């Protein structure tokens, strides 16, 4: 349902990736447990490509305080102002893990042409 990965980015050091058409936001308690076990606190990026597709709400963010997510901090990240290096990094991740896209809401055409 989700994968948590660390990336080399000061703003979003943690990315929670949807690994199927199921949205990982429905698993916030489980995600919080994983982040708590890693002793992480800070901004978390959610890449919802597999559950939301290539839409404007692909990326969301929230603040994790070390125990739980601060509910009022969840927001959709605008692709107009979003760091392109993160998009490129995430796209490369999915290009190397195409099997994740095959269990997503993306069409066969979108999966084949994804890069």
What was the pLDDT predicted at 14?
98
Residue 64 has pLDDT above 80, yes or no: yes
Q: Where are the domains of the chain?
A: 2-112
Give the Cα separation of 91 and 80 in Å (integer). 16
pLDDT tens per residue, range 9-48: 999 999 999 999 999 999 999 999 999 999 999 999 999 9
**Please, what is the Cα angle at 39 between 35 and 45, to 5 degrees?**
40
- pLDDT level of residue 3 (50, 70, 90 thresholds): very high
Q: Give pLDDT tens digits for 69-93.
A: 999 999 999 988 899 999 999 999 9
**Average pLDDT value for residue range 38-63:** 97
Query: How confident is the model at residue 115, as a pLDDT?
Result: 75
Query: Sign of dihedral through CA atoms 49, 55, 61, 62?
Result: negative
């Amino acid at each position: 349902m989700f994968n948590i990965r660390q990336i080399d980015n000061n703003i979003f050091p943690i990315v929670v990736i949807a690994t199927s058409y199921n949205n990982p936001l429905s698993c916030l308690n489980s995600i919080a447990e994983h982040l708590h076990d890693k002793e992480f606190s800070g901004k978390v990026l959610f890449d919802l490509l597999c559950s939301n597709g290539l839409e404007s709400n692909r990326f969301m963010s929230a603040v994790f305080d070390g125990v739980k997510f601060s509910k009022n901090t969840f927001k959709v990240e605008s692709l107009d102002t979003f760091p392109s290096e993160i998009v490129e990094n995430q796209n490369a991740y999915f290009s190397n893990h195409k099997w994740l896209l095959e269990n997503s809401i993306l069409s066969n055409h979108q999966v084949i042409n994804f890069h």
